[in-house]
Structures are given as C-alpha cells and as structure tokens.
C-alpha cells in the first residue's frame, strides 16, 4: 500500500497546497486547527474534490485533475473513522459492523465469520453487538467505528481526530487499538495533539496554513526544532529503548542507546522494545556531570543547535547516544551555559512518557 498526494485547493481566502507521501504504518497529518488537515484527508476519501492535483492510492490514480479522473468515495476501498463516530442510528452495533461487508469483495463465509470474531474480540465489543448506537458511551462508539472501518476490508484507514471528542480516560482506552492496527493496515491519521502524534506516528506530515512544512519519520520530525512552534509545549523526542530488567525496588532498567535508564516499573518483559517520549520541557541541561542530584536519568549529550523562541525561551537540540532530543530552557540559561553547536553537556530527564504497548520502531516497520 502506498499513498501519494499532491493537491491544491482554494476555499475563500484559504489555500491548500500540499504534497506528501505515506509509507506503510501510521502517517499523521499534524497541525493546528485550520491548517487544512481535514480538507486533505477528505480529498483522499473522495468526500471533497480538490481543484487540482493528483492522488494515487496503491498505484491507482483516484483523483487526477489533468486527466479528469475522480473516483467516488465508495470505489476507493477506504475505511474512515470520523471524529464523531457517525454510527448508523437505525442499525444495531452488529449491523453497523457488517455494513461495509455488503460492498467489499466476497470471501468464504467461514473466513468472514472468523475475521468478524477476531476484530470484535480485539476491540472488546462483543457484549455490545445487539445494542443500538444510542445506548453506547463515547468510547464504545469509537471502538465500533474502528471495527466498522476495519471490516470493510480497506486498503487504507483514514482517521480524522478520532479521539478529539473523548475525555482523557476514553482517549487512553482507544489509543492502544490504533497502535495494534499499525502493523495491520496503513493509516492516515489527522491530529493536533502532540501526545497522540508521538505515540502513534510512523511518519509525520506537519501542515501549517495549508502547506506541508515538514515530513519524515516521526523521530526525526519531532526532534526538529523548526516544528516546535506547532506545539512548543509538547515538543520533544521520540526514542526507542529496550527493557533490560525489573528491579526489586519497583524500578525498571531500560537500555537507551547504551545508557541505562530507570523508570517506574513498566509492564513489558525484559527484551521488549518501547517507545519513549521525552518532552522538551522535561529536560534540564548541565555543563558539568551533575552530582548530588535526585534525578536518576542523566544522558551525556552534544549540542546540535540552539534556537531562540519568541519569548524568553530557547529550544536546544541535542545529539545523544540514543538519538536526537530537545530541551526547552530559557535564553538566559543558554547564554550562561555558553551553549553552542558542538558543546558537550548532560541532559537530565525529569520525566519520561512510555507508550504502554510494545510497538516496534519505524525503521522495523519500514522493511
């Protein structure tokens, strides 16, 4: 599966002029509201016809303004998970789930039943099958919506801020399902939440005012200081660590590019690989190796770039043994520490977010 998009569309004073490619995995369209994310994903779905450009899905042009090609949505073999679920109110959960199957290419009865059972179990919606959508909670609705999209056996799943309407608890209920889907079917996922992006993305396409300002593998894009204005508070690094052992005092020891990292006990067994997000504002810098500090996790680093922000802050990008990382400090500190490209320092990690599931690395997925 591959997706190539290059379209322009003008709507009032807003111009969308975007081109990107989505390799396998989860490609997140990331940007503020109004940056054109939804227009872009609707163009891929065929719900909106752009004025010009080309959209190629798996080698087939589903839209090509030069040749006058425009495939209607029902012939694009997609599964779309909308922000508000959009379940059919007059059908039961079971009928909602099997809706797309009427139109998907036929398969053996047994295989269809097995697939249905597998997806129902994966999403934990077995007890809901005979209910009506009106009797479901927000999180349940969204799980059914994911199942409905999957069971249409799409070549690509589109998701437009599928978690935005949910509270934090429901969000963490749904996120793992998308993580599980990552290996199953390619996903184009719209979000303006840096936390979601960091957890899910294989590839990130950053949109700003209708233009793609950056695209690439998730770890690279998130550690790019140029992207930080998009969500400076949440900017940070995405690193992959391996669980080494669990200690008796409730800590787990992880290996982060050769540096030991101690975190409160993680659920994964030794040997499994984890995705870590280290927010820029959770990193403190020190020139000398700090002594007598309560922080457990200190990484040797080299300054790659110092980028002053609009306010009193600055974003420092660092090269560590584990990869590129960002630190958000004040400009005053940056001057006091004489930080400049090439300067050696130490990064002290105040906190680290762990994706609760073993999700592999983008590199592994790409092969």
Partner 1 sequence: MDWLGPEEWQAVALSLKVAIWATLVSLPLGILAAHVLSRRDFPGKALLNGIIHLPLILPPVVTGYLLLLGFGPRGPVGALLEPLGIVFAFRWTGAALAAGIMAFPLMVRAIRLSFDAVDPRLEQAAATLGASRVWVFMTVTLPLILPGVLAGAVLAFAKAMGEFGATITFVSNIPGQTQTLPSAIYTFLQVPGGEASAMRLVLVSIVIAMGALLASEVLARRVQQRVSGA
Considering only the stretches 29-37, 130-138, 174-182, 248-256, report the one whose residues sit in contact with partner 1 under the rule CB under 8 A: 130-138
Say how far apart CA 142 and CA 162 lie, in whole Å: 7
74 interacts with partner 1 by CB under 8 A: yes
* CB-based burial, 12-25: b 16+ in 10 Å, e otherwise: eeeebbbebebebb
98-127 mask for partner 1 (x: CB under 8 A)?
A: -xx-xxx-----------------------
Determine which residue in the list 54, 148, 182, 281 makes contact with partner 1, applying CB under 8 A: 148
Complex with partner 1: residue 145 or 354, whichever CB lies closer: 145
Complex with partner 1: residue 157 or 219, whichever CB lies closer: 157
Say how far apart CA 31 and CA 211 lie, in whole Å: 10
* CB-based burial, 78-97: b 16+ in 10 Å, e otherwise: bbbbbbebebeeeebbbebb
Q: Which residues inside 18-57 make contact with partner 1, applying CB under 8 A?
A: 45-47
Altogether, the residues listed in the chain come to a count of 367
270 interacts with partner 1 by CB under 8 A: no
Q: Are 199 and 277 in contact (CB under 8 A)?
A: yes
282-321 mask for partner 1 (x: CB under 8 A)?
A: ----------------------------------------
**Beta-bridge partners for 276:** 239, 354
Q: Are 268 and 243 in contact (CB under 8 A)?
A: yes
88 interacts with partner 1 by CB under 8 A: yes
177 interacts with partner 1 by CB under 8 A: no
Among the listed residues 40, 49, 36, 38, the one whose alpha carbon sits nearest the alpha carbon of residue 21? 40
Report the interface residues with partner 1, using CB under 8 A.
Answer: 45-47, 72-80, 82, 84, 86, 88-90, 92, 99-100, 102-104, 131-135, 148-149, 152, 158
């Amino acid at each position: 599966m591959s997706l190539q998009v290059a379209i322009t569309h003008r709507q009032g004073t807003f111009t969308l002029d975007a081109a990107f490619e989505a390799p396998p995995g989860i490609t997140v369209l990331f940007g503020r509201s109004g940056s054109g994310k939804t227009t872009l994903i609707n163009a891929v779905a065929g719900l909106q016809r752009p004025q010009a450009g080309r959209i190629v899905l798996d080698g087939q042009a589903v839209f090509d303004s030069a040749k006058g090609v425009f495939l209607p949505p029902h012939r694009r073999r997609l599964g779309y998970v909308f922000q508000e679920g959009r379940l059919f109110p007059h059908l039961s959960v079971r009928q909602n789930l099997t809706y797309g199957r009427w139109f998907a290419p036929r398969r053996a009865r047994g295989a269809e039943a097995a697939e249905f059972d597998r997806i129902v179990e994966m999403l934990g919606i077995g007890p809901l099958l005979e209910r009506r959508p009106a009797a479901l909670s927000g999180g349940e609705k969204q799980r059914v919506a994911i199942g409905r999209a999957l069971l249409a056996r799409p070549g690509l799943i589109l998701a437009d801020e599928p978690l935005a309407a949910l509270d934090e608890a429901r969000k963490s209920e749904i996120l793992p399902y998308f993580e599980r889907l990552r290996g199953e079917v390619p996903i184009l996922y719209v979000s303006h939440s840096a936390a979601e992006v960091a957890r899910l993305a294989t590839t990130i396409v950053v949109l700003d005012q209708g233009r793609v300002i950056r695209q690439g593998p998730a770890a690279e894009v998130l550690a790019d200081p140029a992207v930080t204005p998009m969500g400076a508070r949440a900017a940070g690094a995405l690193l992959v660590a391996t669980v080494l052992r669990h200690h008796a005092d409730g800590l787990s020891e992880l290996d982060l590019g050769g540096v030991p990292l101690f975190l409160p006990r993680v659920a994964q067994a030794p040997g499994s690989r984890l995705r870590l997000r280290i927010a820029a504002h959770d990193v403190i810098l020190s020139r000398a190796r700090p002594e007598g500090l309560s922080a457990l996790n200190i990484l040797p680093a080299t300054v790659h770039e110092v980028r002053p922000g609009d306010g009193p802050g600055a974003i420092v990008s660092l090269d560590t043994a584990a990869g590129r990382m960002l630190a958000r400090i004040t400009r005053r500190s940056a001057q006091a520490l004489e930080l400049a490209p090439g300067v050696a320092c130490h990064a002290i990690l105040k906190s680290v977010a762990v994706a609760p599931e073993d999700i592999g690395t983008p590199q592994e997925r790409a092969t």
